[in-house]
Amino acid sequence: MQARTGDALIVLDIGKTNVKLALVDAAGRMIAEERRPNAILRDGPYPHHDTDGIWEWMLATCRGFARRAQVSAIVPVTHGATAALVDDAGLVLPVLDYEAALPDLDYAALRPPYAETYSPLLPAGLNLGRQLAWLQQRHPEDFARARHILMYPQYWAWRLCGVAAGEATSLGCHTDMWDPVRQDYSALVERMGWESKLPPIAAPWAALGTLRAEVAEATGLPADCEVLCGIHDSNASLVRYLGRDGAAAPRTVLSTGTWLIAAAFGTSLDGLREDADMLANTNALGQPVACMRFMGGREFAALAGDQPASCSYLQLEQMVARGSMALPCFADSGGPFAGRAGSIEGRAPVDAGERFALATLYCVLMTDYCLDALGARGPITVEGSFTANPWFGPLLAGLRPQQALSYSDDASGTTCGGWLLRYRDATPPGASVFKAPRALAGLEAYRAKWREAVQQAGAPVAAAG
C-alpha cells in the first residue's frame, strides 16, 4: 500500500456528462482521479439524476482516497440549472434532469423580465425557475413537504455534512431566481412563495461543517474533515483569474466541456441580448460577469462522431477550400441559435479526420461569433476539454490577432477552482501556454461566408473582429 501524503482536498466534480473525484494535495498536485458517467435515469415520474449511484460510487472512491492522503476537506463542484428538494430524511422528489421536457406550464407569464435577471428564456428546464414551478404544479404535496430547495453543489454538501446553504454562483446561473446587479433574489422567488425553503447564502469557500458520522465511517475519512459550500462548475474555472478584491483587467475565459461558456471580464451587461442566449453569471466574489455560451462539447461530438480522430492541417485547408461548413446547431439546448436544425453546406466529410476538421472549424466560428457579440476584450484563456484540440486555439487566435490566446495547462479548470476555494492564498499550480495564431488560407473569407449563411437563416450577426 502506498504511504499516505499530507494535507489534501477531495473535489467532487459533477459535469453534465461525467462525474469526477479528484484527490489534490496542498500544493495543487493531483494525487488520484476517478471518473464515472453521469447517467440519467428514466424510471420514476420524470428523467432524473442517479444521485444514489453517484453517492455509492463516491463513498467507495473516497475509501480508496483515504488510504492515500490525510484529507482535510471536500468541496462539491457541479453543473448548473439543477436543484434538489429535501426534507430532513433526504430527497422528497428525484433531482430533475434539466434537459427533460416540462409540458403544460405557462412559465413565460411567471418569470421576471430579462432586464432584472439577465437570464434568457431557455428550452426544457435550463431555467431552474421553470423546473421548480413545474414540480410545484405537478407534485404539490411533495413540493410542500420539502424543507429546503438546494442548488446542486449545496445538495451534495448537505448530504455530506447535514448543513443546508445557498450559494450565489449556482443561483445566478440562468435560473430566473437571481438579480445579478443587486445580488439578491429576483421577484420570482417571492411570487412563487419559495423564500422559506431557500437556506441562508454562504460563500463558496465557507466550511459548512464536518462530515456526518456515518459518512466518515463509510469512507474512512477523518471525522473532522470539513465540507465546503461549493460552486457552479464554470465559475470554478474563473476562480484562478479573480483577485481577492475582485479587481481584474479585461480578459475572457473560455470554459469548455459539454458547454462552451465565454466569460468576459470587464464587459458591460448593457450589450447582453436575451434572444442570443447571453446572460450574466455571478462569480465567486458575488460580481456579475457577462457570458455567452453554446453546447460546444456536445456539438463537436455530433459532428466529429463517436470515435473522433484528430485531423491534419491539410484536411483543415481542404474543408475551407471546398467551402464545406457546418451551420448551427447540433444540440437541442441553449446557445444563440437554439431551435434551429444543424446542417452541412457543401461536400460532407468522408472520414474521421475530415469530420474532426469540420467540427473544429464549427466550434472556432461559433466561439468567434460569441466573442464578437459579447464585445470581449483582452487576452483569451481556454480552460477544459478543448485544450486537447491542437487546432482550436491557434485557429481562433488567427481570427482574433488583437487578443493573445493561451491554453491553460490544467485540463480541468473546475478542479483547480475547487482547490483554490480551500487554499485561497495559494498560487495556482501550472501556467497558461501561449498559442501562436495559425494562418489558414481562406479562413477569414470562410468566416464571412459562414456568417452570411447564418444571417440568411434569420439570426442577427455581430460584426467580425
DSSP-assigned letter for residue 271: G
Whose cell is 459532428? That residue is 303
Rounded Cα gap, residues 401 and 412, in angstroms? 26
3-state helix, strand, coil in the chain (%, to 5): 35, 25, 40
Tell me yes or no: is domain 243-456 CATH 1.10.290.10: no
266, 250 Cβ separation under 8 angstroms:
yes
Cell reading at 191: 411570487
Q: Given this chain, do its domains 5-229 and 243-456 carry the same CATH topology?
A: yes
Rounded Cα gap, residues 97 and 48, in angstroms? 5
pLDDT of residue 465: 47
Rounded Cα gap, residues 66 and 372, in angstroms? 47
Nearest Cα residue to 86 out of 51, 127, 43, 126: 51
Rounded Cα gap, residues 454 and 372, in angstroms? 15
DSSP-assigned letter for residue 96: B
For residue 214, the tally of other CB atoms under 10 A from its CB is 9
348 backbone dihedrals φ, ψ, rounded to 5°: -75, 150
133, 105 Cβ separation under 8 angstroms:
yes
Report H helices in 90-207.
114-117, 128-138, 140-145, 152-161, 168-171, 187-192
User: What is the amino acid identity at position 65?
Assistant: F
DSSP-assigned letter for residue 223: T
Annotation: CATH topology of 5-229: Nucleotidyltransferase; domain 5 (3.30.420)
Number of separate helices (H) and strands (E) present in the chain: 15, 23
What element of type H or E holds 374? helix 352-374
DSSP 434-461: E------TTHHHHHHHHHHHHHHTT---
Rounded Cα gap, residues 258 and 418, in angstroms? 19
236, 224 Cβ separation under 8 angstroms:
no
Which residue positions in the chain have pLDDT lower than 50?
1, 463-465
Whose cell is 460580481? That residue is 287
Nearest Cα residue to 316 out of 187, 227, 441, 179: 441
Rounded Cα gap, residues 32 and 188, in angstroms? 42
Q: What's the half-sphere exposure (Cβ side, CA atoms, 13 Å) at 5? A: 17
Rounded Cα gap, residues 171 and 159, in angstroms? 19
Cell reading at 214: 456515518
Tell me the CA end-to-end span of the chain in Å, nearest whole number: 56
233, 246 Cβ separation under 8 angstroms:
no
Nearest Cα residue to 75 out of 7, 161, 148: 161
Cis ω for the linkage preceding 363 (within 30 of 0): no
Nearest Cα residue to 26 out of 418, 426, 437, 375: 426
Rounded Cα gap, residues 232 and 204, in angstroms? 9
Domain ranges, ordered by start, for the chain: 5-229, 243-456
pLDDT of residue 396: 97
Rounded Cα gap, residues 279 and 271, in angstroms? 10
Rounded Cα gap, residues 211 and 12, in angstroms? 14
What element of type H or E holds 395? helix 392-399
Q: Angle at the Cα of 296 (from 152 to 380), degrees rounded to 5? A: 95
